[in-house]
Amino acid sequence: QVQLVESGGGSVQSGGSLRLTCASSGSIGRFSDMGWYRQTPGNQRELVATITDGGTTNYTYDVRGRFTISADSAKNTIELQMNSLKPEDTAVYYCNAVVTTNKGWQRYRNEYWGQGTQVTVAS
């Protein structure tokens, strides 16, 4: 079992910055993929950024150049640095991690989510 806890959300002015932290209950070395997603009321949860255990990153076009995802194995955290924030970035941000386990011919996949942290960017 894995527990993910987000922190760092808050309210900022347009153009401001926030750094979100996702703390894992255990080593992040077990995760094949890690990421941040966001969701607004009535909408689907959308991908913001992902990072693999190999360090490959992926960003949604809307945040490219403004957000940076990273994983700290020493602290067992997944970080999202958000700069040049815009009102349209306002959402609940969720941490995500995937664990894959191979047992001979069988493969298991487990996905975990944090409880979410609110980010509000004032117009």
Q: What is the pLDDT along the chain (123 residues), one digit of tens a residue?
A: 899 999 999 999 999 999 999 999 999 999 999 999 999 999 999 999 999 999 999 999 999 999 999 999 999 999 999 999 999 999 999 999 999 998 999 999 999 999 999 999 999
What is the model's pLDDT at position 87? 98
Angle at 20 between CA 112 and CA 63, to 5 degrees: 95
Spatial neighbors of 3 by CB under 8 A, at least 6 apart, are 24, 25, 112
pLDDT digits (tens, 9 = 90+) for 12-46: 999 999 999 999 999 999 999 999 999 999 999 99
For the chain, the distance separating the N- and C-terminal CA atoms, rounded to the nearest angstrom, is: 40
The confidence score (pLDDT) of residue 1 equals 80
Beta bridge partners of 81: 19, 68
Cβ(57)–Cβ(51) under 8 Å? yes
> What tokens were used for 30?
């077990």
CA distances 22 to 4, 32, 33, 43, Å, are 6, 16, 14, 23
How high is the pLDDT of residue 5?
98
